[in-house]
Chains A and B, each alone.
Chain A
Amino acid sequence: MSQSDFKPQILCFLCNWCSYAAADLAGVSRLQYPPIRVIKVMCSGRVDPTFIIKALKVADGVLVGGCHIGDCHYATGNHRTKKRVLTLQRLLKNIGINPERVRLEWISAAEGIKFAEVVNDFTNQIKELGPNPLRMMN
C-alpha cells in the first residue's frame, strides 16, 4: 500500500464535558478535519486501558480527549487518565508498537480550533507511521 492510498482509521474517546463539546464546536464552526470515529464517554477517566488495547485491534491510532487538568467535571478523573495512558504507552513500546499511536490531549469545550488541529496533526502522524501491525493481523 502506498502512503497516499493509506487512509488511517482513527478512533477517539472524547469526554462528555470538554472534548466532545469541542468536537461539536468544530463541527458547528465548519472546520475541516479528516474522518474520525468518536466514542463519547462521561469522563476520560472512564477510558480503561483495555478499551485502548481493544481499539488498537481495529484502528491505526487512538486519541483520548479530556478536560484540562483542574477542569475535570469529576475533579480528578483526568489525573488517572494521564497516568494510565503514560503507562500503557510504555507497555506498547516494550512490545514493539509505536507509542505515538495512542495520544492523550486536553481539549476544553471552547477549543474547537484546537480539536481540528489535533485531529489533523494526529492523522498526518499516523499516515507517516503507516498501518498498525496489530490491525493488519485481523
Chain B
Amino acid sequence: MTKDEVRNMAKDWLKKGVVKGVIGLKAHNGNVAPHLFLKAEEVDSLVLSPKYPLSTVCRKIQSKHPDIKLGIVAFGCDERALIELAKREQVNLKNIEILGVACSEADAKECRCERPYPKQLKIGEKVEGVKDERIDKLLKMNPEKVFDFWKRQFNKCMKCYGCRNVCPVCFCKDCELEQDIAVKGGRIPPDFPTFHLIRAFHTAGTCIACGQCEKTCPMHIPLTILYSMLRKDVKELFDYESGQDVDQKLPLNTTFEESPIKEETV
C-alpha cells in the first residue's frame, strides 16, 4: 500500500540521517494534523489523507531554521507549490528532500487535477489527469449569463479569508485584501468584484491548481474555475506554467526580453 511505502521510506531517511525531520500528516486521537516527524518510531502514525498544503508548514519551519535538511511528503500540488515558493525565495529547495507520492485515480477525479503526480516521483504510479468540465460549460455561455453566474456566486462570500489563508503560494505579510484602500473593511459580502478580482489577479502566474481554496470555502464558491481559466490564459499569453521549473522567469514582473508575450489577442 502507498501509505506503508511512504512510512518505510520516511523511516529509512530518518534512520540513515538523510534528513533531520520529515513533514507529513499525523493521525492523533482520530484527528489529523501536520507534524514534523523527528524520530523513526513516530512515523507509524503518518497518514496521507486528507490533502493539506504541507508546503506552508515547510516554509514556516524554514523561515526559522533555514539550515536544517527537511524531508516532505509531497503530492503533485505540494511539489508545484514548493517550486513556486522557491522562485520567490520563500523556501530553499537545496535543503528540502521531496518524497513524491502520486495520487490515486479517485483522488485526481475528486480534485479535478490535471497533473496528479510530482516530478520527483518516488512512490506510486502516475495516473492520467482529469479535465474540469465546468470550464467548457462556462465558456459556451454568453457574457451576460457568465456575469450573472459570478455575481450570484460571489454574493455568497462571507469574507472569511479562508481561500487566502489556505493558499500554499500566498505568503505576503501585508495582504492587499486587508488594505482599506483596496477592499473596504467591515462589509459582508465584500464589494463585488474588487475582493475576488484582486485575489484572482494575484493568482495569475502563481496558482498551482491544488484546489485548496475551493475545498476550504464554506460557501462553496467554485473558485478553481476562475483560477483555472486564468491559468490557461497565462499559458496562452506567455507560454508559462507555474510550478514546473525553478529557473523559469515570472511572466508578470519581468520585461519582454526576459519573458516575451506569445500572443497579444485579448
Contacts and interface: CB of A to CB of B under 8 A. Distances in A.
Given A83-B238, A87-B237, A134-B193, A69 B256 contact: yes
Interface residues of B, number: 36
Interface residues of A, number: 30
Interface stretch (A17-25, A90-98, A106-114): A90-98
Interface string A35-59: 0000000000000011001100100
Interface string B233-266: 1100110000000000001111110000100101
B197 A95 contact: yes
Contacts of B233: 87, 90-91, 94
A50 B261 CA distance: 22
Interface stretch (B27-35, B56-64, B66-74, B138-146): B138-146
Nearest to A84: B252
Contact of A96 (B146, B192, B261): B146
B54 interface: no
Interface in B162-177: 176
Contacts of B204: 87, 91
A133 B233 CA distance: 23
B226 A94 contact: yes
Contacts of B252: 80, 83-84, 87
Contacts of A86: 237, 261, 264, 266
Q: Which among B198, B233, B266 has the greatest number of chain A C-beta atoms within 10 A?
A: B266
A88 interface: yes
Contacts of A92: 197
Interface of A: 49-50, 53-54, 57, 69, 76, 79-80, 82-84, 86-100, 133-134, 137
